[in-house]
Amino acid sequence: MPISDKPLLRVLNGESVWPPPLWLMRQAGRYLPEFRALREKADFLTRCLTPDIATEITLQPIRRFAMDGAILFSDILILPWALGQSLEFIEGRGPVLPPIRSATDLDRLDAARVPERTAPVMEALARLRATLDGDGSIGAAKGGAVTLLGFAGSPFTVACYMVDGGGAREFPATRSMAYRDPALFDRLIDLLTRTTADMLCAQIEAGAEAVMLFDSWAGLLPPTLFRRYVIAPTRAIVAEINRRHPNVRIVGFPRLGGVMIGEYARETGVNVVAIDTGADMRMATSLIPPHVGVQGNLDPLLVVEGGDVMVHEAKALRDSMRGLPFVFNLGHGVVPQTPPEHVGALVEAVRAV
C-alpha cells in the first residue's frame, strides 16, 4: 500500500493530516478483558515470546478501536534477556534482573545470541504485517491503513533496569555508576546502542513500518549526562537505521526531558518527538524544529475519568496541533484501571470533524 494511504505514516513523513492519526501507548494491556483472559494462560515472558499470543494481543485494540497504529506487544527488557541477563516478572513487583555492577557482569552478556533469542518477536511482526496489510479481516476492515510499529527501549532506560536490577524510583545504582565508573557505564551503553540498532533493523526487516525508542527515564539526567547517554546513543541508533533502512521513520520519546527536548529533536535525527504529559505542547512545538513532528500528550488519567472533561481536553489538544505533523497519543501509557468504553469515546472524539 502506498504510504499516502496510511495516515500515521503520512504524519511520520512530515505531513499534517486531519483529523490526526491516533494510537495509544500501552493500548494492548490489562484494561481490556480479552487481554486479561490471555494473561491467565501464560506468564509475561511467554506472552512476549510466543508469536500467536503476541500477535493476538497486538491486534486486540485494533479490533476494538480501529487505531491507526498497531504497536508490537513486547517489552523493552527483551533485549537484556536476549543478551543473557536473566529476567523474571514478579506480580506486584515488576521485572527482576541480576544487577550489572562490574566488568565481569558485563562480560557475561553476548550480543551474538540476540538474533536467535528474538526470533519469535520477528515472527510475530511478520504475522502482524500480513494481517494488517489485508491478508486478514482487520486489514480488510481498515482498508490496510493501519501502520505497524516496532519499538525498543533506549540504551539509558534499559541500562537503568540492568544496573539497578529492576524498577526503582530514582535508579541510584545506575546514576552512581555513570559518575563513579563512566568507562564501565560507557561500555554498557555502547553494547546497548549497537544491539538496539540491530534489533530495530531486524524488526523493520520482519515487517515494522516505523519504530519507536522509549527513553522513559531520560528525565533523571542532568543536561551533561542527558547529552552523553540519551542524545548521543539515540543519534547513533537513528544513523544506523537510516543507513540500512533510509525510508523508515523513527519516533523518539525522551520522557520528562523538559527543555532538552529541543536539543534532542535537533541532534538525534528522529522524525517525531513524543511528548510526555508534564510538558506544555505549545512550548514543546516552539523548541522542536518545524520539520520534526510531535506525538502526545493527553494525561492517561483523563481517560480513566472519561466523560465531558476527557472529550474537552482531547479536542483542545487536537485542535491546538492543527496544521502540524501531529500524532494524537497519551503522554504515557494507558493505565490498568481505564474503562475500555472511555478509550472508545476518546477515539470517537479525536476523529470527530
- Residues annotated as part of the active site: 26, 30, 39, 75, 161
The grid cell for 312 is 474537552
Q: Are 288 and 250 in contact (CB under 8 A)?
A: no
Is 29 labelled as part of a ligand binding site? yes
Sign of CA dihedral 108, 87, 198, 157: negative
Full 3-state SS string of 21-68: CECCCCCCCCCCHHHHHHHCCCCHHHHHHCHHHHHHHHHHHHHHHCCC
- SS3 of 96, please? strand
Is 26 labelled as part of a ligand binding site? yes
CA angle 253, 254, 255 (to 5 degrees): 95
Q: Is 165 left (phi over 0), alpha (psi -120 to 50) or beta?
A: left
Helices 172-180, 182-206: axis angle to 10 degrees equals: 120
Is 84 labelled as part of a ligand binding site? no
CA angle 198, 200, 205 (to 5 degrees): 95
Q: Which residue has the cell 535537533?
A: 266
Distance CA 70, CA 125 (A): 10
Sign of CA dihedral 187, 189, 190, 192: positive
The CA-atom distances, in angstroms, between 188 and each of 155, 196, 238, 240 are: 8, 12, 18, 18
Is 105 labelled as part of a ligand binding site? no
The CA-atom distances, in angstroms, between 281 and each of 28, 83, 103, 319 are: 25, 37, 42, 12
Distance CA 167, CA 165 (A): 7
Is 60 labelled as part of a ligand binding site? no
Is 216 labelled as part of a ligand binding site? yes
Distance CA 240, CA 237 (A): 5
Is 27 labelled as part of a ligand binding site? yes
Q: What are the binding residues?
A: 26-30, 75, 161, 216, 332
Q: What are the binding residues for substrate?
A: 26-30, 75, 161, 216, 332
